Amino acid sequence: MLEFNNIEIKTADCFKTKLVGLMFKKNINYGLLIKNCRSIHTFFMKDNIDVIAVDKNYNIVEKRKNIPPNKIIIFKKNVKHIYELPKGTIK
């Protein structure tokens, strides 16, 4: 699993936690691992986020920085999990 310095990573592994994700949150200070997921949306987000998509072995497949609200992102077929992170996490 990936490690992020000084960022708590919570896990979304059921329908409700995957659906809600980081919606309605301001000044996000933790990350969210969305398991068994290849796509995300940023509807109802209050802040931009960084996203890292990983394969089943947690190897990074794709990174996206500073994603604004109201976007839909569908990742490649080999993506297994997605990390939603506070903006500025990916340098």
Render pLDDT for 34-48 as a digit per residue (tens, 0 to 9).
999 999 999 999 999
Q: Which residues pair with 54 in a beta bridge?
A: 60, 81
pLDDT at 1: 60
Would you say residue 25 has pLDDT above 70? yes
Q: What domains lie within the chain, and their CATH numbers?
A: 8-86 (2.60.120.1140)
Would you say residue 58 has pLDDT above 70? yes
Give the DSSP H or E segment for 53. Answer: strand 49-54
Rounded average pLDDT over 44-70? 95
For 1-39, the three-class secondary structure string (H helix, E strand, C coil) is CCCCCCCEEEEECCHHHHHHCCCCCCCCCEEEEECCCCE
Cβ 42 vs Cβ 84: under 8 Å: no
The structure's pTM equals: 0.89
> Encoding tokens for residue 42?
């940023």
